[in-house]
Every structure is written in C-alpha cells, then in structure tokens.
Structure 1
Amino acid sequence: MEQISTDVAIIGAGPAGMFAVFECGMLKMSCVLIDALDELGGQCVALYPEKPIYDIPAHPAIEGAALIAQLEQQIAPFGCVKLLGRQVTGLAGEAGNFTLTTSMGDKISAKAVVLAAGAGAFGPNRPPLDGLSAYEASGAVRYYVKRREDLRGKRVVIAGGGDSAVDWALALQGVAAHIAVVHRRPKFRAAPESTAQLDALAAEGKVEMVIPYQLHALHGQDGVLQAVEVVDLDGAPRKLETDVLLPFFGLATELGPIAEWGLDLAQHHVTVTPATMETSISGIFAVGDIASYPGKLKLILQGFAEAAMAAHAIYGLVNPGMALHFEHSTTKGVPG
C-alpha cells in the first residue's frame, strides 16, 4: 500500500503508457504508472513477447518483449513510481486535484490523469468444448504463445481466421513438427500479405489448411491432448492428431471501473479531443487503443504520438501560468 503525490497518474503500462512517462519526464513532470499486470508491457508482454512488430519507426522488425525492454530503458532516467499488479478502483476530484485509489489500498494524488489502458482488462474468448479446463491447465490448449521454443517438435492445431491465427501459423514454421489451420471459411480476416504467405506455405505442403471446418471436441486423457475433432458445415467429423491447440478467437475486453467514471464513451472506448487527447472530463486524458476520435488508427506508433500531445496539453495543468517553451530533444537532452 502506497500513498503518493505526483503530477501525472498514468493508468496502463503498455507501450503508450510507458512513452507517456517519457514525454512527461522530458517536460519535468513526475509520474506514477499503474497496471493490473505484474509486469510492464501490457499486451506486448502478456500476449506476444516473441511476435515481431514491423511498424515501429527505425526498427524494421522488433519483438514485443524487446520493444518493452527498450521503452523501460528510455524511461529509467525519470524515476517513475510503478504500481503493478493492481487495478485503479476509484477516481475522485477535479483537474489539478485528483485522488485515485487501487485494489491494493494505494492512494495517489495527481494533478492530471492519463488513461492508457488499451481496451481495458482482457481475456481470451474460449471455445465451448467439453473438458477444456483440464487441457488449459496442462498447457495443451493455449491462447497466447510466449516462447516459440515451447512448441518445438509439437503437432499444433491453430483455430481462427484473424491476424493472430495467420501470424502464428507463419511464426511457427521450422519450430512445430506439423501445423494445421482450422477455419470455417476460405477467407481470412488478416493482412493480405500474411494471408498470401500462408497460402504459399499451404501450396508447398508446409501447412495443412482444414477448411471449412470448426472445432467440435477434444480427445485425450489427464490433460494430455491426443486429437482435436472438427466438423464441416454439414456436421461431418474429422480428427486431427495434435499435441497443442491454439484457439485464436479474439479477446473479451472490458473497461472495468473506468466505465463508471462518467466519461463519454463510444463502443467501449473513451472519446477524446484529438488535438489534446483530453476526454470529456477536464484533466483526464486518454492515449493508445482506449482513445477514440475520427481517423483513429490502432497502431503503437500512433499511441506514441498521442502520448506526446497529451503531455504537452497537461503541462499547463501541472504548471499553471507558466508558458511552455518547447525545445527539441536533440538540443534539450534528457533532464538529470
């Protein structure tokens, strides 16, 4: 339990929240970073630490965990207080004088608040299969892949038709002994280039395309998976021998207590003024995937830009009456 006074309280320790610490630090504003997970990084670390990201400027490719390690190094000079493994449960006050409470009993006083909580708390959409929990407990059914090496030599069935299903079918090439992709229709909801690569691998016999089928049952004993039963659109069954099932049917997300704070929402996202990233409540800002405005792109790089805009808008709240004389980092350097 902590009792802390700070300039800015940042809720969410994913890439956008971490970069908000940097941008606020460059303007000499102190921050507290709060996250429900036990480690920094948000979905990058929790869901795809070894998955390459291709649209981070100056990095032709960088894995999720490596990006977070770089961000952690970048914010280190600012001595940000990190409150991890806890959820913000309460928010009271007004711009310049907010009080936040957490599930661990912490009390944080802040002049401004930045919401960087992604789409909120998240968990996988689980397939409705009998006996699923036993296979989840043993690791035979997984919704995230943290280490590709854990699947080396395994027979893997991937179910789903989105980016995650296609990307992991590509990423596990040369690692898994056999890969089968189960989808209920030929068309995938994934990046066209990735889909083309998957089609090429299927043509070469390196990936088995099980289409149009959907999951029906799991076969095995004591958490050891032996086969996944699928059925086609007419209900005709087929068994796929496998060691690991990776169902990628998206994430179930919820804003949690944030939804009760009186903010203007649009389809479970927080609406903001794009020029400042301020929400409908003065002094509360939103950046990253949680923020909604016309033309919004859910890209990490856009979250970085939003963090910079929010920090500059917050400066006047933290330092009333003081003009911000902006300098480029190349001439200003990192404050000591």
Structure 2
Amino acid sequence: MTHAASTHTTDVAIIGAGPTALFAAFECRMLRLDCILTDVLDSVGGQCAALYPEKPIYDIPAHPSITGGDLIAALEEQIAPFNVPRLLGSRVSHLEGEAGAFTLKNERGDTIHAKAIIIAAGAGAFGPNRPPLEGLDAYERSGAVQYYVKKRADFTGKRIVVAGGGDSALDWALSLSDLAEKVYLVHRRDRFRGAPETLAQIEAKITAGAIEKVVPYQLHGLKGENGQLTHVDLIAMDETVRSLEADVLLPFYGLSTDLGPVASWGLETQRSTIAVNPATMQTSLEGIFAIGDVAQYPGKMKLILQGFSEGAVAAHAAHHVAHPDKALRFEHSTSRGQPGTP
C-alpha cells in the first residue's frame, strides 16, 4: 500500500527515537513545547530495542538492573499522557531554513515544519563490524552468526563462541553461560576491557568451568553445511589453529556508524559525532541541538544517564528558540505537577 505523505507543524522535531530521544520528548512536553519523534527504524527504542532488548543495564538511576526493552517500555509509559506524535520507518534526509523556521523531509516524503531541532540519533546509522570470514553470508542468514542477542532463550543448550574483548562480549558471555551447553570467550589477547566487577564475574565463571577462555586467538574460519555451523576455527599469532565445536558465533567487534544525511547539513562534526556547546547542547547551527551518543564535547561520557541530562538541557534551550518572547521560569516537576497535556 502506498504511503500518503503527511505534513506536521511543531515546536521541536526530534530526530531519533531511542531512550535519549524519548526522554527529550518528555522534557519538551513538560515545558509545554509541542514535539514529534522521527526515526529510520519502524519502532521506538533505538539500539536498546533493536540490539539488546534483553541485555541488563546497570547504571540507570533507581534501577539496580533493567533490560533495554523494559527501559524503553518505562520511557514510553512516561510520555504516554502527552500523546507525542511520531514518524517512524523513514530517515530524515532533507533540511532547510533557519532557527524558528526549519523544514525537514524524510525519504518517504513526509514534511515537518519545526522551530527547533534536537538530533538524538544515537550512533547514527549503525551496523555491526563483520569479521572477514569466507562464507559468512550463509551463516548470517541461518542465524548461526549473530551480532545482537534479542532473545536469550534462543541460545538454550547451544555451543556458543563469543568473540571480542569489550563490554558486549563480556556481558553476553556472562548472561548466556547460564543457558548454554558451552560458552567459549575468544580474544586476541589475554586482557579484556570491562568494569572491574564484570571482569571479576568472568574470572569466577572461568574458574567454575561455565566459560572457557580461549586466548590469544582470532577468528579464522567457519565450518558447516547449508548455513548450519559445526565448527569455528581460530588462529594464534604463531599460526597455531584450533577448531571449536559450535552452533553459534557471536562476534562483538563494535558498530560501524554513519551520520548519513545529517553529515551534509553544515554542522561541525568530529568523525561520526556532532560538536555541541555543553551549556545548551546547541550545535554550530543556531536552533539545532544534539544529545546522546551523537553529541561530542570535552568531558563527554557515552552513558544513557548523561543523555537524559542532555535532553533536559536541550529542551530548555530549544524553548528560547521556539518562543523567544516568552520567559521560561524553571520549575521542578514536584511543583509543576503530574505529566499531562496542557
């Protein structure tokens, strides 16, 4: 069915619909700013929903542990009273105008007229860094090679090779070790990058035999038939080859990122990030703000909780752009009252 292009007029257009964008929408509405959420994905949640809905997150205030999916559900509940409109499933590709009078268009033909813009595009257009292995495509299609864990239960009783030395590899090796028949943790050196508590848990699992550490090795090849994996071959620096019996390979080598059309909008960028003034989160163009992983400034930490703070800062700064003649008196939510439509 052909999509009928739509036109929307609002105070703030939010590009992205991940956790930082959802909270920015909440902050905007608390300031009585109309806003709209847009995203290339066909559902809200960004990387939390698309990449690790069942992965526990430990550094969200007031939540000792919460999964990515549950965090998105809670943020959706928080903005539900505001009925924030959203345009999903199409990337914003075109920008023109100036502060107070921007026009945005997505690749589907929808148009947004906005006074201010908040870019909360996370890592931009993201995709996994794929290992250079022969025949990889067939194993990806069958699910024998996966880059994201969406349902832990799918790995019950499996022989799993987890490759990588960072947080994702460590976290999933720990998480899946309780379900899998065997978990191998493969890294090119005997040193991992993770929080001290995570490293301690990994060592405890290795000692207990729940995880087998295989170092220093790198991925070398895949064996199987018709996309069904039977072995993962590894190679050491001295060219020693080891073959592991395996059903699934999970390579965690990070994401390749791309700002996409945003990179052509004349914003000051640093690699795949956008430079901002941390006092306002404004970019080099007046009326355009950036928050979350896509924003860069001295002292930046890529944490969801910092993205939440940036969303509040950007919303307040956007109010001055959207309503320059209207004074904004800061109020705590306890004095402003429960969320609700104005």
Q: TM-score range by the shorter chain?
A: over 0.9
Segments of structure 1 that go 5 or more residues without pairing to the other structure are: none
> Do the aligned partners of 1:161 and 1:189 also contact (CA within 8 Å) in 2?
yes
Whether 2:214 is the aligned partner of 1:210: answer: yes
- Scaled by the length of structure 1, the TM-score of the pair is 0.98
Structure-1 residue corresponding to 2:333: 329
Question: Which amino acid in 2 is paired with 1:38?
Answer: D
Among candidates 227, 231, 234, match of residue 235 of structure 2: 231
SS in 2 for 1:235: coil
SS in 1 for 2:130: coil
Measure how far apart 1:235 and its partner are.
1.1
Structure-2 residue corresponding to 1:175: 179
Measure how far apart 1:231 and its partner are.
1.1
Structure-2 residue corresponding to 1:46: 50
> Do the aligned partners of 1:12 and 1:35 also contact (CA within 8 Å) in 2?
yes
Q: Between Structure 1 and Structure 2, how many residues are aligned? A: 336
Structure-2 residue corresponding to 1:310: 314
Measure how far apart 1:173 and its partner are.
2.1
Q: Deviations over 1:134-191 (max 9, x none)?
A: 1100000000000100000100000111111111010112111100011110011222
Whether 2:35 is the aligned partner of 1:34: answer: no
Segments of structure 2 that go 5 or more residues without pairing to the other structure are: none
Among candidates 89, 92, 100, match of residue 85 of structure 1: 89
Cα distance in structure 1, aligned partners of 2:223 and 2:283: 50
Measure how far apart 1:200 and its partner are.
1.6
Among candidates 149, 154, 170, match of residue 153 of structure 2: 149
Measure how far apart 1:267 and its partner are.
2.4
Among candidates 194, 207, 210, match of residue 190 of structure 1: 194
Question: Which amino acid in 2 is paired with 1:320?
Answer: P
Cα distance in structure 1, aligned partners of 2:46 and 2:38: 11
Q: Deviations over 1:241-284 (max 9, x none)?
A: 01000001111101001111111112221111111110110000
- Structural mapping, 1:98-109, within 5 Å: 98-109=102-113
Cα distance in structure 2, aligned partners of 1:174 and 1:228: 21
Question: Which amino acid in 2 is paired with 1:196?
Answer: A
Measure how far apart 1:321 and its partner are.
1.1
Computed over aligned residues only, the root mean square deviation of the Cα atoms, in angstroms, reads 0.9
Question: Which amino acid in 2 is paired with 1:142?
Answer: Q
Structure 1 ranges of 4+ moved more than 6 A: none
Percentage identity across aligned positions?
A: 60
Structure-1 residue corresponding to 2:246: 242
Whether 2:67 is the aligned partner of 1:57: answer: no
Cα distance in structure 2, aligned partners of 1:184 and 1:29: 50
Structure-2 residue corresponding to 1:17: 21
Cα distance in structure 2, aligned partners of 1:132 and 1:120: 25
Cα distance in structure 2, aligned partners of 1:100 and 1:84: 14
- Scaled by the length of structure 2, the TM-score of the pair is 0.97
Measure how far apart 1:192 and its partner are.
2.2
Among candidates 149, 155, 162, match of residue 158 of structure 1: 162
Measure how far apart 1:326 and its partner are.
2.0
SS in 1 for 2:20: helix
Measure how far apart 1:318 and its partner are.
1.5
Structure-1 residue corresponding to 2:281: 277
> Do the aligned partners of 1:28 and 1:335 also contact (CA within 8 Å) in 2?
no
Question: Which amino acid in 2 is paired with 1:93?
Answer: G
